[in-house]
Structure 1
Amino acid sequence: MFGTYLAVTLLASALNGAAAYANLSGHEYARNQADEMRVPHSWHLPLGLLLGAGSLGLLAGLVVPVLGVLAAAGLVLYFVGAFGAHIRARDYHFGPWAVFFGVAVAALALTLVHHRPW
């Protein structure tokens, strides 16, 4: 069980870290997605920082479990908001979103199961 928890946490951290980098560096893909979702380019910095904080929080959660739970829950909420942006923009291509959302949900579930806070 620990191996699965570790693998999913590292995968989620890597995916969200890459997305944070794309937003913070102004990568073309991030700019195009923002344009399609009608998200102002001024939001790249705060959104990138949220993704980066989630990514680092997942890693910190390996040592301090409550940080991992909070980071994973924050990423789930982030991607629920992203789903709303897709719906608002009438963009029904949910493939990349589903990967990020699914990995965030899996990270949250496995963190909760592994550390059993109840």
Structure 2
Amino acid sequence: MSMAYVIVAVLTAAWIGFSGFSLLRRAEFVTQPLIDYGVPRPSWTLLGLVKAAGAVGLLVGLAVPAIGVAAGVALVLYFLGAVITVLRARSYKTVVFPVLYLAPAVATLILGHAA
């Protein structure tokens, strides 16, 4: 396991974990875009839990690689879905935000596979 993988995995987990926590706490900077994109409120808790679980999975993956891979794949799919949601809402100026989460999830998955 390379040091680059460990650093990227920990930073990615922290960033995505913070995002999941912020969604679970209903922070306005997270919820307002969801309203704008038409994401139904009843799904917000599940989305926050998925982010949090993915972040924890990346950290557990440092000890159990298969869990890290599963978490990485799940997060990549989650954020691809987020990109699609933003594009379907025709919010082209804000599509960069889910991409900023997608990129480190992809990097973590690639570095984990290379290790």
User: Considering the TM-score relative to the shorter chain, is it more than 0.5?
Assistant: yes
Q: State the AA in 2 paired with 1:81.
A: G
What's the CA shift for 1:95?
2.1
What's the CA shift for 1:99?
1.2
Q: How does 1:29-68 map to 2 (within 5 A)?
A: 29-68=29-68
2:54, 2:75 within 8 Å by CA — same for their partners in 1?
yes
Q: How does 1:1-118 map to 2 (within 5 A)?
A: 2-92=2-92, 93-114=94-115
State the number of aligned residues: 114
What's the CA shift for 1:94?
2.1
2:73, 2:109 within 8 Å by CA — same for their partners in 1?
yes
2:69, 2:112 within 8 Å by CA — same for their partners in 1?
yes
* In 1, Cα distance between equivalents of 2:70 and 2:107: 14
Name the TM-score, length of structure 1 as normaliser: 0.93
Runs of 4+ in 1 over 4 A off after TM superposition: none
Q: State the AA in 2 paired with 1:101.
A: L
**Structure 1: which 5+ runs fail to align?**
none
Name the TM-score, length of structure 2 as normaliser: 0.95
* In 1, Cα distance between equivalents of 2:98 and 2:50: 16
**Structure 2: which 5+ runs fail to align?**
none
